[in-house]
Structure 1
């Protein structure tokens, strides 16, 4: 963009003899200036993508949580202040929050398949839940209702409508009972898994409020990026791995008060253990940590996380946070992703090192696809899971070579899919559907993970490596800290490739014929 000096501008003005000409000049200059700063070009060899620079800047919600953990009772008492911003174009009369711990209150609502309950509760079922003690605004108390399947939704009625772009402070006092479950939320012999544990604002988008239940299939979460400040007071024998950056740790009457801060993250999770050892290293300026129990597993877990971060930084774009942690846990399902923190089944550390590496890499890839580029994991689970599974293959290709990648693809992806296909008769396979429409976890895994990864392999062959990897970089850059949809991804692929791809996507995602 050409820039004029103030002297040159004065000379031009002095030379203008008519006021009308002056106004035309000013109008034209302003127009050119707006166009110049409003649009930029991303050039990548054979295509050009235009993006608007000036767009509405969405303000983030703010969470401040002050919590105390009581070890004997396995209870957390907490206060939460949420500064909620109305980023819609309409007035809101009520706000909705997910209160996920309540689904653990009854055996018939826990988010496990029936054949998993005995594994999750190895010492027998006991309830977990969240009690909402009070909900207030800055000035007064607010009325609220507990609704939804498993009483997992908190509806807060506002005393005055919240106008677009306005914000309100909501104060919630709550108590959480942690169940003896080896899942995302629960405790076992080694760890206390504190995830999906506090009231978190539901997403409101073009379809309205998203109040889907906590399904036993998949990862049924959908949230906006927010800023967090969290304190957790626990006995001094515990070490905490967390989404947040540790600001300080204070000793208070036999306890430690851990203060964390996390900016621009989608959720906030913690895991605590009195048995943790920590291995740490740096990669690309990021502190990578492994929280482990047995010495022989420390190097494997740390190296897998480091190498994955380095490879994905190169392929997709730089990981923007200061740290990333991999934590061994009482978690029988394999692995689970949270911003800057992943849970890994501690049993995997005692078995096959190759499987451990695969799971760690998969969960690390989720830092890009779910953590940074978000999506509705209930309605469009394929969008993050399939891309994450294929990203795991890209790790093997970059670290070990194409031959190893192809072997992993054949054994894990094609093998998993073909074993599923051989056991069913239905020829129409739909990847893009709500979690509640999958028959079981086996079908979900075969279609969303395996066939989803097959789709990305096919898309790569269809478009060629140059365009395919440009798509991933542009997708990450465009939707980082936002929520994307399948339609967003299709449109982006079409723009970058300069091709019509709707029928190609429909064939894979909806089982339609081209």
Structure 2
């Protein structure tokens, strides 16, 4: 995610430098096969050893309600048996003003017509037609605990059936509706990650992207009135008329999440690059062609820099979304206001940033709650690489200097006692401004320093090996450090400690 709404004290200065830096716009690299073979993923993912979600959904656009039946094929990847399973219920964060994932200063932008609640209601949980007991718990009722009848042993699987209903709020965020769009993201029961720390059950924080999930396969069908167009994660495999509605069916393999955005006003532009279809969903927008071209170029550039984009499509969708941009697998939401006026430079930057997230967090996952720097710093620096590869190194250096470095130092001048720690959890940042400066900007400065020390050949080799080793997996900071040391045969722990204030847990 890239957030454009900042603390008022710095907003004007930020926008000035943002526009000044972006107004300057006027090799493919290979990894040695020896390195690739050493750090390859090993066995391929199959239908049997990853989670799978199959959902049939009905949308009532007048009531802004979803009703859904969900089948989950759950795989125990842990080395211990489970008596219970946990799922995130993110929509319940929208039930109360006290728990909505927005800072107080954002409420007027998030709810321009006033607050109304959103939620998810679980109506039944079954396994093979046998009812299972469950509890809705956690801050804001955002966790579903399902009690199993018998232990689920390591490498065993279980099939669950969950019926639920979702109320969509009038919110201009990831989950909500506005004048033009219905954004359906982080909307269904999604399995919590179990890792070396145990179950990850963090709430839906207002700062950053508070998500952490495993790769899964999805099949989703949604019935909508015929005038609506659906943009979604995955490939649209079928559209059929049924009972006066159109049922859209999407299939997505090895993705980390599933999102949709729906509108009765969308127009569509299409392109392709390297056999990948690129879609732009827009309204009567002045810069719709820029969105399509940026998405196409970004997918091409990042595929060459890091590793091939492994999916068949990528979509950019204009949205009633005040934050700027937000990434989901194969799909990004972009503030529709960026398509108008004189904001084409910012539109390009935001789309390039969200496209880079397809690699960092989308394909190579990480814990965005406790280690947000890992995907955001790489993504912010990848955005600079987009400009370097497309417009030249001088343009990249100007943006880096005039926006990243200058904004970081401006913040430090106004906040001389601010916490300089980059490596920390979302709840440890005092506000979204501190988070953005430390995680995005100082994080990108660290990556630039790493590049300067490594040199381009080893730097890009490192990123390609990191992508190859951890694609469709979750990585952490310790994994990244060890890989740096393995690829370069040099110690890097002191650099991570100095720049990020990283400490091994």
- The normalised TM-score by structure 2 is 0.91
Q: Does 2:355 align with 1:364?
A: yes
In the superposition, relative to structure 1, how do residues 487 and 331 fare at CA in structure 2: closer, same or farther (>3 Å)? Answer: same
Within 2, Cα distance between the matches of 1:158 and 1:419? Answer: 54
Cα distance in 1 between the residues matched to 2:194 and 2:36:
32
CA–CA distance in 1 between the matches of 2:242 and 2:414?
Answer: 58
Given the alignment of the two structures, is residue 471 of structure 1 paired with residue 462 of structure 2, yes or no? yes
Determine the C-alpha separation between the residues in 1 that align with 2:41 and 2:441: 37
Provide, for residues 251-290 of structure 1, a one-character-per-residue CA deviation record: whole Å limited to 9, x for no partner. Answer: 1232100011000000000000011010000101100010
Larger deviation: 408-417 or 105-114? 408-417
- CA–CA distance in structure 1, aligned partners of residues 287 and 150 of structure 2: 55
Deviations 1:209-261 (A, max 9, x none): 00001000000000000000000001111100000211110112321000110
Is the radius of gyration larger for structure 1 or structure 2?
Answer: 1
CA distance in 1: counterparts of 2:324 and 2:402, whole angstroms: 18
Indicate the residue corresponding to 2:10 in structure 1.
none
Partner residue of 1:230 out of 205, 220, 226 = 220
Aligned counterparts, 1:128-143, within 5 A: 128-143=118-133
- CA distance in 2: counterparts of 1:45 and 1:208, whole angstroms: 36
Pairs within 5 Å for 1:178-257? 178-257=168-247
Q: CA deviation at 1:43?
A: 7.4
Q: Is residue 182–residue 188 contact of structure 1 (8 Å, CA) maintained in 2?
A: yes
Q: Note the residue ranges of structure 1 that are not aligned, 5 or more in a row.
A: 1-41
Residue 50 of structure 1 corresponds to which residue in structure 2? 38
Shift in alpha-carbon separation, 1:51–1:449, aligned structure 2, 3 A? closer
Query: Alignment partner for residue 282 of structure 2, among 257, 271, 292?
Result: 292
Q: For 1:235 and 1:144, locate their aligned partners in 2 and report how far apart those are by CA, in whole Å.
A: 34
How far does the alpha carbon of each residue in 1:80-126 deviate from its partner, in whole angstroms, 9 at most, with x for none?
00010111111100000000000000001000000101111001100
Secondary structure (helix, strand or coil) at the match of 1:422 reads helix
Residue 267 of structure 2: aligned partner: 277
Per-residue CA deviation, residues 33-78 of structure 1 (Å, 9 max, x unaligned), is xxxxxxxxx9749989834775696810010000000111100000
Give the distance between the partners of 1:239 and 1:168, measured in 2 at CA. Answer: 34
SS at match of 2:389: helix
In 1, the alpha carbon distance for the partners of 2:194 and 2:469 equals 20
Number of positions where the alignment pairs a residue of Structure 1 with one of Structure 2: 471
- Closer/same/farther in 2, CA of residues 433 and 247 from structure 1, 3 Å limit: same
Runs of at least 5 residues in structure 2 that lack an aligned partner in the other structure: 1-29
Counterparts of residues 112-511 of structure 1 (less than 5 Å)? 112-351=102-341, 352-426=343-417, 428-510=419-501
Runs of 4+ in 1 over 2 A off after TM superposition: 42-58, 425-428
Instruction: Identify which range, 121-130 or 411-420, moves more after superposition.
Output: 411-420
SS in structure 2 of the partner of residue 124 of structure 1: coil
More RCO (CA 8 Å, sep 6+): 2
Asked if the contact 1:43–1:49 (Cα under 8 Å) also holds between the matched residues in 2, the reply is no
TM-score (norm 1): 0.89
Provide the secondary structure at the position in 2 that maps to 1:131.
Answer: strand
* Alpha-carbon contact 1:47-1:497 (below 8 Å) kept: no
